[in-house]
Amino acid sequence: MSRPDVSALLEAFRADLAAAGDPEALEQVRRTHTGKASPLKAALKGLRDVPAEERPQVAAALNAAQATVEAELEAARLRAEEAALEARVAEEWQDLSMPGLAAPRGMRHPVSQVEAICLQTMRRLGFQLVEGPEVESAFYNFDALNIPEHHPARDMQDTFWVDGGLLLRSHTTTVQARVLEKHPPLPIKVVSAGRVYRNEAVDATHLAMFHQFEGIWVDRGLTFADLKGTLAFVARALFGADRRVRFKPKFYPYTEPSVGVDVSCGVCGGSGCDACHGAGWVTILGAGMVHPKVFTTFGYDPAEVSGIAFGFGTTRLAAQWTGITKVRSLYEPDLRTLTRLHRGA
C-alpha cells in the first residue's frame, strides 16, 4: 500500500469546512471527515499495509492530522455559536435604559394606615400589641365585661351568633379581658386591633363589620388625668394639634366613670355636614376607668390597682383622616376611591 497523502486529506477537509455556512453543514463536515467511513479513518485502518519501517512516521502524521481536524472543527463550532448569538442579540435588542412597563405599585388601605399610626403612637407610650380571636364566647364578649345576660347593652351590641354558643366579637375589648385573665406583671399596657361585628342596618355612618383599636393600662395609682392625657396625645398625633378635642360624659358597662372623645369634624371644619350629622363634632372613641366589677371578675383588688381602658373606632378615624362623609366608601372595592383617599403614610 502506498503511503497516505496527509496534506491532501487536510486540504479536502479545510475546503469543505470553509464552505460550511451553518451548523447543519458544519455537522455534515464533521461526519464526512471524522466518521467511520471518512478517508482519515480508512488511512488509519490501512496502517497495517504500510511498511514497518515507515509505519511510525505515517501513524504520527495521521494522528496529528486527526487532532488538527478535531481542533479546527471545535473552533468552527464556537465561531458559529458566537455568530448565532450575536445575530439573536441584534434581532432581540432592547434599550434597557428606557422605562419599563411595570405594574403599578400597591398601597396601604386607609384603615390600615390609621391603625399603623395609632399603634406607633401607643408604642411610644410603652404599649404592646396583643391579638385575639374574632369568634368569641359570650363570657369574654359580655359577662366578663360587666354586661350580664338581659343587660340593655347587649341589645346595643347585638352581634352574629354561630354554632356552639359562640359569637362574632362586637368589640376588641375581648382581648383586654383575656389579658387580665392571665395576670401579667404590672404595669399592664396592651393594645389590640382588628375587625368587629354588629347586627345593625348599614347606612352612611354604620356598618355590620368595621374596625376598632382598643387598649388597657393597669397599674397602681392611675387616675382620670392619665386617661385624658393619653387620649388627647393619641388624637393629636393622628389629626394634628390644630384639631379641637373635647370630652363628654358617657356610659359603658365596663368602665366607671366613662367618657366619649370627640374631635372637630375635619370634613366641614365644624360647620356641620353629613359626616358629623350637622353637629360639627365626631365621636372617635369611648373610654373610662376600668370598672371595679371587671377587676373583681379576674381576681384583682380594685382598692390596690386602677386602670384606664379606651376604644377607637378605627373606621371612623379613617373616615375623618381621609375627609370622607360615608364610611361605607372605605369598604367598597372601588380602586378609584381608595387611590384618591391614599395619603402615602
Query: Where is the domain boundary, 64, 92, 120?
Result: 92
What the block records as the C-alpha cell of 52 is 514497518
What pLDDT sits at residue 325? Answer: 74
What the block records as the C-alpha cell of 190 is 396592651
C-alpha gyration radius of the chain:
42
Is the residue at 271 inside a domain? yes
Is the residue at 224 inside a domain? yes
Q: Which residues, including other chains, have CB under 8 Å from residue 235's CB and lie 6 or more apart?
A: 243, 245, 261, 263, 284
What pLDDT sits at residue 130? Answer: 93
Q: Which residues, including other chains, have CB under 8 Å from residue 303's CB and lie 6 or more apart?
A: none
Is the residue at 20 inside a domain? yes
Is the residue at 121 inside a domain? yes
Query: Where is the domain boundary, 92, 119, 143?
Result: 92
Same domain assignment for residues 160 and 258 = yes
CATH number where 241 lies: 3.30.930.10
Provide the domain count of the chain: 2
Sign of CA dihedral 109, 125, 224, 185: positive
With left for phi above 0 and alpha for psi between -120 and 50, is residue 105 left, alpha or beta? beta
Is the residue at 276 inside a domain? yes
Same domain assignment for residues 273 and 322 = yes
Query: Where is the domain boundary, 66, 92, 118?
Result: 92
CA-closest candidate to residue 171, choices 151, 149, 141: 141
What pLDDT sits at residue 120? Answer: 92
Is the residue at 105 inside a domain? no
Same domain assignment for residues 165 and 307 = yes
Same domain assignment for residues 13 and 146 = no
> According to the 3-state scheme, what is the secondary structure of the chain?
CCCCCHHHHHHHHHHHHHHCCCHHHHHHHHHHHHCCCCHHHHHHHHHHHCCCCCHHHHHHHHHHHHHHHHHHHHHHHHHHHHHHHHHHHHHHCCCCCCCCCCCCCCCCCHHHHHHHHHHHHHHHCCCEECCCCCEEEHHHHCHHHCCCCCCHHHHHCCCCECHHHEEECCCCHHHHHHHHHHCCCCCEEEEEEEEEECCCCCCCCCCCEEEEEEEEEEECCCCHHHHHHHHHHHHHHHHCCCCCEEEEEEEECCEEEEEEEEEECCCCCCCCCCCCCCCCEEEEEEEEEECHHHHHHCCCCCCCCEEEEEEEEHHHHHHHHHCCCCHHHHHCCCHHHHHHHCCCC
Is the residue at 99 inside a domain? no
- The Cα 113–Cα 127 span in angstroms is 18
Q: Which residue has the cell 353637629?
A: 279
Same domain assignment for residues 195 and 320 = yes
pLDDT tens across 244-257, in order?
A: 888 999 988 889 99
What pLDDT sits at residue 155? Answer: 67
Q: What are the residue ranges in the chain where pLDDT is below 50?
A: 1, 345
pTM over 0.85: no
Same domain assignment for residues 152 and 201 = yes
Domain holding 283, by residue range, is 110-341
Same domain assignment for residues 74 and 126 = no
Same domain assignment for residues 152 and 261 = yes
Is the residue at 97 inside a domain? no
Backbone angles phi, psi at 218, to 5 degrees: -120, 130
pLDDT tens across 54-64, in order?
A: 778 777 877 88
Same domain assignment for residues 88 and 125 = no
Same domain assignment for residues 283 and 169 = yes
Same domain assignment for residues 197 and 59 = no
What pLDDT sits at residue 83? Answer: 83
Same domain assignment for residues 81 and 150 = no
